[in-house]
Each structure stands twice: as C-alpha cells, then as structure tokens.
Amino acid sequence: MFRDRRSGGRRAAAPAPVVDQTTVATDSPKRYRMVEKLISIGDDFWIQNDHGQRVFKVDGKSLRVRDTLVFRDSQDIVICKIQQRLGRIRDTMEVEGPSGQQMAIVKKAMITPLRDRFVVKVGNGPDLEVEGNIVSHEYRIGSLATVSKKWFRVRDSYGVEVGPGQNDLLILATTVCIEQMTGDG
C-alpha cells in the first residue's frame, strides 16, 4: 500500500505475530471455532480463534492400526497427539503431550439411556464431567469450558469457550475426542 522510497517498490506487510495459545493467560475467556462433522480419520482441519486466525491444525493419520489425530501449532510443530485406546469395552481416547506424557483420557459412559455422557480423567488434575446435549454441540466440560453453536453464525461450525487460565490445548483436544467418538456411531 505504501511505497518504499529507497527501493521504489511496495513495502511488504509485516507478518502477524504467532502466539502460543496453550500458555497465554488472560482474564477473559477465549473462543475457538470448530467445524462440525469434518473430523474423521485421514482428514486435516484447522481450529480458528474468534478472530478467524488459524491456531491449531489437526492432522488425521489414517494408515494406523488405531485412530490417531495429531495437533500441530501454526508453525507445524507437534504439540499433542490423540489416539483411540484399543481393547476397551467402551469408547476411550487418550490425549498425549509432545513428549508422550499422558495429559488426559476421555471415556464414554457405558450405559446412557437418553444422552451421550463422557468423563475426562485429567493426568494431573481432577476428573471432569461432560454435561449437556453433545449431539447438538451445547455442553460444558466441567466448569472449565462451554461448547455452543451460538457464538458463530457460520454453517456447520460451533464454538468452544475456554475459561481464563485454563489449558486451551487440553480442552480443545477433549472436544475433538468427543466429536470423534460421537461421529463414529
């Protein structure tokens, strides 16, 4: 837009700074946009913040014995891995950190007559109950986050609002696990 007088050409726009969303502490909740029903093994998709910036890439790996999803940051660095746990009576997915440490296990309740129910066993914290209408994307993950279609008017998308001071990556990975387990059935 502005010309650089020395070189006679156009000045290049400065690249937008990349922010590590997993460690930023703010006093207000953060919102992310997820795309509904595009989560399937073998497909890649982006998780955007409420400003439309791509924050996390979820990379589906299809040529594996068990379902695997890899979270990457905007610089394509692996920050988290989600794997389906085999040999379980009920659906279970494990969230691992970049060095293989267990961050959480997301389990689907065995008998749920009216709605799907999930429990998140956090590696170094209290267990979280997932409550609400999961199929309609209107639910809460403990008291840490809310998932809702209200915040984004884009078709086939829904929002995840993460409370202040919470681990965004863990909440978003939990949301992807729930989407994966309810989408397969």
Residues near 115 by beta carbon (within 8 Å), at least 6 away in sequence: 133, 134, 135
Residues of the chain predicted below pLDDT 70: 1-26, 36-43, 62-66, 87-90, 111-115, 152-155, 184-185
In the structure encoding, which two tokens stand for residue 124, read together? 């170094």
45: left (phi over 0), alpha (psi -120 to 50) or beta: beta
Fold of 30-184: Porin (2.40.160)
In the chain, what percentage of residues exceed pLDDT 90? 39
Q: What is the pTM of this model?
A: 0.77
pLDDT digits (tens, 9 = 90+) for 55-70: 999 888 754 555 788 9
pLDDT digits (tens, 9 = 90+) for 150-176: 876 666 788 999 999 999 999 999 999
CA–CA dist 143, 28 (Å, integer): 15
Q: Where are the domains of the chain?
A: 30-184
